[in-house]
Structures are given as structure tokens and as C-alpha cells.
Structure 1
Amino acid sequence: MERYVDGFVMPISNEKVDAYREMATEAGELWVKHGALQYFEGVGDDMEPDMGEMSMVTFPQLTETGDDETVVFSFIVFESREHRDEVNAKVMEDPAMDPENYEEEMPFDMERMAYGGFKSIVSYEA
């Protein structure tokens, strides 16, 4: 069975990267605890790559990132879509997800986050 991936892309204030990292660390531990195969969070580094003559949309253009923002790219890997649904249900039931446990506001704007589930069509691993 091919793996399944939940993917996320969002702009985030440069000033909130550390707060986001803390939140993402806790989230990663939670998803893996409940069965996710891999949890990845990356912050923009090479956001305006030189592609020579090739024209493409960059992540900052795609997310309409402001001058004081960067882009976060994230994904969670599961065995299958069914496995994803099972893991996500367990995560949502975990007491750690109770909104009353959050003292800080979210370090990003959820309305500017893009999300989707993807079935694997090609996958290589070392």
C-alpha cells in the first residue's frame, strides 16, 4: 500500500518562528505518539531560487508572504489514508489538544494556511 501525506504551507511572521517551532515540536511528538510515520516542519531558507530561464511561482508568491514573513512547509506521513484518519482521530481526542491547555495564541494565521491530503504516486527512500 502506498503511503499517504498530509501537507501544509503557510506564511508566518519572522518574529514568531521560535514560538512556531515550540508548537510544532509538541505537535510532532503527539502525531508520532499516535502512529504517524514521520512529521516534518521546515522554515523558508532559499525562497527566491535562481532557476535560470525557468519561470515558476515561488512559495512567497503563492502564500502572499509579506516582507516581515517567511514560509513554513510541513508534512506528516502515514501508512495510508485510512491510517491517517485513525491517527488524526486519536490526536484530536488527546488531552493535549484541549484548547484550554494553550496559554499562547497561535503563532500563525490559520486562514492563510493551505492544507491537503496526498496519495503517493512515486516514493523512494534511502
Structure 2
Amino acid sequence: MSYIDGFVIAVPTANKQKFIQHANDGDSVFVEHGATRILECWGDDVQNGKQTDFRRAVNAKDDETVVFSWIEWPDKATRDVGMEKAMKDPRLSPQSNPMPFDGMRMIFGGFAPVVELGKNNLNS
């Protein structure tokens, strides 16, 4: 089963195109180092919760949009090696590909899937 790195960030809404360019420039590095799929999802229906929510999780301001992203790897071993190589890749440095958002408010983590459903694996 695959392994997932998940991310939630707050991006200034005015920086949407800068974010898309940042992702296009940087995400290919992860694919080169073993990632099988990357999704960058611009918040479209992110509701305010009663106790907590995505916006509060990243301290999003009124002029920011929440972005939910993930990198899919074939397994954790591939991820560990690939992520280490990617983090050393100069194409991901702040000088080469500056973040158009406050990286200090990014939340992220690695996740081992426990249920996977879809047209291709309903019998799994």
C-alpha cells in the first residue's frame, strides 16, 4: 500500500498564480525522486468550524485561501529516501523556488493508509 505526505497551508489569495508556478516548479522534484502522484488543491468550500477547522489550523487570514496537498509514494521506504533527496535538491531551496506563502504556518505529516477504496480496488 502507498504512503502519503499531507500538507495544509494558507496562501495569500492574490498569490494563486505564484503558488501554482511554485508547485509546478517544485513538485516535479518529488516525482523524480519516487513520488507517484501529487495533488495541490485550492480551497473552494472550506467552512468555518465550531471548534476547529482548516483555516484555524494554519491561522489563515481573511485574504488567504487554504490549500490542501498531498504527495503519494509507493511505500514509506521510497518516501524516506525520496524525501531526503528532494530536501537536498537545490531546485527546492528558498533561493531557487521561494514560497509564496508563510511556510511557518504549514502543517504536514506522513500517513500510512488503512482503507483505500476506488473503482480499481473495491475488492481490496
Whether TM exceeds 0.5 here: the answer is yes
- TM-score for both structures, normalised by structure 1: 0.82
Alignment root-mean-square deviation, CA: 2.1
- 1:96, CA displacement in angstroms? 2.0
**Between the two proteins, what is the percent identity of the paired residues?**
34
* Residue number in structure 1 paired with 2:64: 69
- What is aligned with 1:18? 17
- Distance of 1:82 and 1:121 partners within structure 2: 17
Q: How many residues align?
A: 119
- 3-state SS, counterpart of residue 22 of structure 1: helix
1:63 Cα deviation from its structure 2 partner: 2.3
Ranges in structure 1 where 5+ consecutive residues have no aligned partner: none
Provide TM-score, normalisation by structure 2. Answer: 0.83
1:111 maps to 104
Which residue in the other structure is 1:120 paired with?
113
Deviations 1:39-79 (A, max 9, x none): 11011101128xxxx96633123322111111010100112
Structure 1 residue matching 2:115: 3-state secondary structure: coil
After superposition, what is the alpha-carbon deviation per residue over 1:83-105, rounded to whole angstroms, capped at 9, x for unaligned?
10111122234342345434xx4
Whether 1:97 and 2:108 are equivalent positions in the alignment is no
Structure 2: runs of 5 or more not aligned? 120-124
Query: Per the alignment, do residues 61 and 86 of structure 1 end up closer, same or farther by CA in structure 2, a change over 3 Å counting?
Result: same
Distance (whole Å) between structure 1 residues aligned to residue 82 and residue 52 of structure 2: 33
Match of residue 58 from structure 1: 53
Give the whole-Å Cα distance in 1 for the aligned partners of 2:22 and 2:87.
15
Contact 2:26–2:91, Cα closer than 8 Å, also in 1: no
Query: 2:41 aligned with 1:46, yes or no?
Result: no
User: Which residue pairs with 2:122 in the alignment?
Assistant: none
